[in-house]
Amino acid sequence: MNLLPKAGGWLQRRAENVIAILLGVMFVAFLVQIVFRYFFSFPVGWTSELTVATWLWLVLWGSAFVLKEKEEIRFDLLYSAVGPRARRVMGILMAGSLVVLYGMSFPATWNYVTFMKVERSSYLHIRLDWMYSIYVIFLVAVIVRYSWILWQLLRGKDPEASDSTAVSSGL
Amino acid sequence: MNPTSPFSLCVIALVALSLLGLPVGHAMIAGSILYLYMKGLDMGTAAEQLLNGMYTSYLLLAIPLFILAAEFMNSGSIMDRLLRWCNALVGRFRGGLAQVNVVQSIVFAGMSGSALADAAGSGKLMQSLMTRDGKYTPAFAAALTAVSSVLGPIIPPSIPLVLYALISDTSVGYLFLGGVMPGLLLGIVQMALIAFTARRRNFPVEPAVPLREWPRLTWEAFPALMMPVILLGCLYSGITTPTEAAATAAAYALAVSAFLYRSVSWRDVYHSLVTSARITVSIGMLIAGALVFNYVITVENIPKTVAALLQAYELSPLTYLLIVNVILLILGCFLEGTTILLVIVPVMLPTAHALGIDPVHFGVVAVVNIMIGLVTPPYGLLLFMMVKIADVPLGDLVREVMPFLGVMIGALALITLVPDLVLFLPRLLGYKG
């Protein structure tokens, strides 16, 4: 019966494990780099490549699968000031536009990312289409996610109230 | 400007989508995609700009690491020891605990680059200490934690200064040094205001900590107090890059919490990683969006156009800086600071450059503005956070914040008028500007 939400919750936690691991790997790679360079006078290049790769994947993966809408930095003065009806209309316009625009960019994005197979990263020799594939995953996830939000709103579900205390800003 | 030109439509879409409640990062990417489409350009450019930008800006990695360092600091018992030490230092004066709150923020600012991390770390503890036995009103205590947390990203390390270094191509090291004196100045005006009102409002005095206790308290807090020294030492001796210095800081914070204070479990480490990663994603998406949007800005040559437009008015550098201050303070009432820094400040930079304003001075002034924006209503993230932590009505909180806002804007004016306040330390260490 309640298998779907249960599976969703499980997947959500695994997605969260991934961002924790990515950040952990970034941190450890930096320590390895510092130790090798300053204690063994042996500079290693692959660590800096690994750290930027974890950064890229961390941000796009996290935005696609982990962060809730209200955690992301957004301008919600207007959104939180209006009633649920207006909020629903706003949500439909917003989600609809995003799905259309991201959808429009998909073919060209696919071409760009797959074209990058001609290049490899300098130290780890990873094909850049693999490295950059996270953007395609991100794009698909965001399109699916906002299509779902759009569908829910069109079916008459009330949109979430905003919560400015949930925003994770780094300032 | 033609309202149906691709660029106008891009900006209209960006603003409209943001107003509708779309996360700003997505709004910037979506607006830029619309621009590429209208211009008949390859829409894969959005992906290209985002991916290449993220993949090559090594400096940005300092941001997750500074966030992580602050989280490690907060997860241990470092804060308790720091507070006891601050109490020994300034608790004996009238309004002692209020002064402790500011001094703690100054010290913590030397370890963390984030104001929200400071408020999250010390907010609850400070609130219960200050309101116990009705010493201070909850609204005053919460307001003080909010305004003193503003110092966090002005005194180095600083996440917004790292972002500024990226957009302006300025040295992070000199920017960090430039933030030291303005940060201390803001702390001093806050402490002066507390001292000034302490008698009238009859603030309590904490029992004086006897001098013989000082060595023990200092010893206990010593590893935490060493953090800024290690961090800045790494940076200015040239031993490590800024990014590596951030990693060292995180490692040090973890080691101190885990080994010296024995107050960290694996669960805490995992929790710190998750919290930091979430913040990183949130700010990272904004950076990603800004990378794409900046491509549009560059193609359209906007900053140069703005600079040329302003040149006709023959502004003096000082007038320009004052205008920038006013604009940033007003925007700070409505927008999240990272957005202002990544979208608005780049447009202001070329004019500042053309007028011969020092980029380090300009950066510190901009960041002080944006930090003040964290406590200006109606939209101030520090206010929201303290409403949540302290459970006080926003109106009461804002009323208590107002006098502090006044003195901080006074200090900001001084920082704007006297560039040497910012530039003295960087020049002392070799900055040629």
**ipTM for the predicted complex:** 0.93
List pLDDT tens digits, range B43-94.
999 999 999 999 988 888 999 999 898 888 877 677 888 888 999 999 999 9
Task: Give the least confident one: B251-265, B288-302, B414-428.
Answer: B251-265
- Chain A residues with CB under 8 Å of B54 CB are 52, 55-56, 59
Asked if the C-beta of B30 comes within 8 angstroms of chain A's C-beta atoms, the answer is: yes
Interaxial angle between packed helices A3-39 and A46-61, expressed in degrees from 0 to 180 and rounded to the nearest 10:
160
Using alpha carbons, select from B121, B127, B138 the residue that is nearest to residue B81: B121
Asked if the C-beta of A55 comes within 8 angstroms of chain B's C-beta atoms, the answer is: yes
Using alpha carbons, select from A82, A143, A35, A80 the residue that is nearest to residue B378: A80
Position B50 scores a pLDDT of: 95
Q: Which residues 163-222 of B are in CB contact (within 8 Å) with A?
A: none
Q: Token digits for B261?
A: 């204070």
The position carrying tokens 């940005």 is: B60
Q: How far is A11 from chain B (nearest CA, A)?
A: 15
Position A92 scores a pLDDT of: 94
What are the backbone angles phi and psi of residue B40, rounded to the nearest 5°? 70, 25
Average pLDDT, chain B: 90
Q: Which residues 334-373 of B are in CB contact (within 8 Å) with A?
A: 334-339, 370-371
pLDDT at A162 exceeding the cut of 70: no
Position B51 scores a pLDDT of: 95
* Residues sharing a CB contact under 8 Å with residue B1, sequence separation 6 or more, in sequence order: B7, B8
Position B165 scores a pLDDT of: 93
* Residues sharing a CB contact under 8 Å with residue B358, sequence separation 6 or more, in sequence order: B419, B422, B423, B433
pLDDT at B125 exceeding the cut of 90: no
Position B76 scores a pLDDT of: 66
List pLDDT tens digits, range A16-68.
999 999 999 999 999 999 888 888 877 788 898 999 999 999 999 999 999 98
**What radius of gyration, in Å, describes the C-alpha atoms of chain B?**
22
Choice between A169 and B286, residue whose per-residue pLDDT is larger: B286
In angstroms, the first-to-last Cα distance of chain A is 43
List, in sequence order, every residue forming a beta bridge with B205; answer none if it has no partner: B94
Across the interface, do A171 and B381 touch by the CB < 8 Å criterion? yes
Across the interface, do B279 and A56 touch by the CB < 8 Å criterion? no
Provide the sign of the torsion angle of the four alpha carbons B197, B203, B208, B213, taken in this order.
negative
List pLDDT tens digits, range B204-245.
998 888 989 999 999 988 888 888 888 888 887 777 888 888
> How far is B430 from B433, CA to CA, in rounded Å?
9
Position B273 scores a pLDDT of: 95
**Mean pLDDT for the stretch of residues B278-292:** 92
List pLDDT tens digits, range A110-147.
999 999 988 888 888 888 899 999 999 999 999 999 99
3-state secondary structure of B37: helix
Most confident among B22-26, B362-366, B379-383 (mean pLDDT): B362-366
Q: Which of A89, A97, A145, A169 would best serve as a mutation to test chain B binding (most B beta carbons within 10 A)?
A: A169
Q: Which residues 104-133 of B are in CB contact (within 8 Å) with A?
A: 114-116
CA angle B407, B412, B417 (to 5 degrees): 125
Q: Token digits for A113?
A: 């990312």
CA angle A53, A59, A60 (to 5 degrees): 90
Using alpha carbons, select from A4, A165, A105 the residue that is nearest to residue B379: A165
